[in-house]
């Protein structure tokens, strides 16, 4: 029973937390500066992985960016200065949450425009279709045959 408990604790510890890509040789000695570096790194996109922060990525470029962030923080830059420095080198794409500016309006409004365009095209498709023509009335012969069929089936 003790082995089972120990095994479950080890599995929980191994699988219960996300694996972070920060290497021990990157980390700053000061825990406060390291915490700041981690927060800044979480705001920056890995340019190789695209949907991961540099804090979570194992890519070499992400490693280089993490080292750069730590160098700038150790040099005395504020968090905003570090982000501005990296943004000036790599553009808005390096930010996981790009700012709402003139240059990024299409990025923020693009999905909404695509949905609106799709709704307009669907509406245009259905509005342009002619209404189905009404069925012509039954002739006397057809009406008699229908009545006979209905009487023969018990009126169901």
List the chain domain ranges: 15-95, 100-126
Residue 129, pLDDT score: 79
Residue 98, pLDDT score: 79
Residue 28, pLDDT score: 72
Q: Mean pLDDT, to the nearest integer, of 50-73?
A: 87
The 10s digit of each residue's pLDDT in 18-40 is: 445 666 667 777 788 888 988 99
**What's domain 15-95's architecture?**
Orthogonal Bundle (1.10)
Residue 90, pLDDT score: 87
Residue 17, pLDDT score: 46
Residue 144, pLDDT score: 93
Q: Residues with Cβ < 8 Å from 138, sequence gap 6 or more?
A: 146
CA pair distance 79, 95, nearest whole angstrom: 13
Buried b / exposed e over 54-87, threshold 16 CB at 10 Å, is bbbbeeeebbebbebbbebbeeebeeeebbeebb
């Amino acid at each position: 029973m003790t082995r089972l408990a120990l095994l479950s604790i080890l599995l929980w510890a191994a699988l219960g937390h996300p694996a972070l890509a920060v290497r021990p040789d990157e980390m700053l000695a000061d825990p406060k500066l390291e915490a700041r570096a981690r927060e800044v790194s979480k705001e920056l996109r890995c340019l190789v992985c695209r949907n991961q922060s540099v804090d979570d990525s194992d890519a070499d470029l992400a490693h280089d960016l993490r080292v750069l962030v730590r160098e700038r923080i150790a040099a005395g830059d504020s968090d905003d200065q570090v982000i501005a420095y990296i943004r000036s080198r790599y553009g808005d794409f390096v930010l996981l949450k790009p700012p709402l500016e003139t240059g990024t309006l299409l990025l923020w409004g693009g999905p909404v425009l695509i949905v609106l365009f799709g709704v307009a095209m669907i509406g245009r498709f259905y509005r342009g279709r002619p209404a189905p023509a009404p069925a012509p009335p039954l002739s006397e012969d057809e009406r008699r045959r229908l009545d006979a069929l209905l009487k023969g089936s018990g009126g169901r």
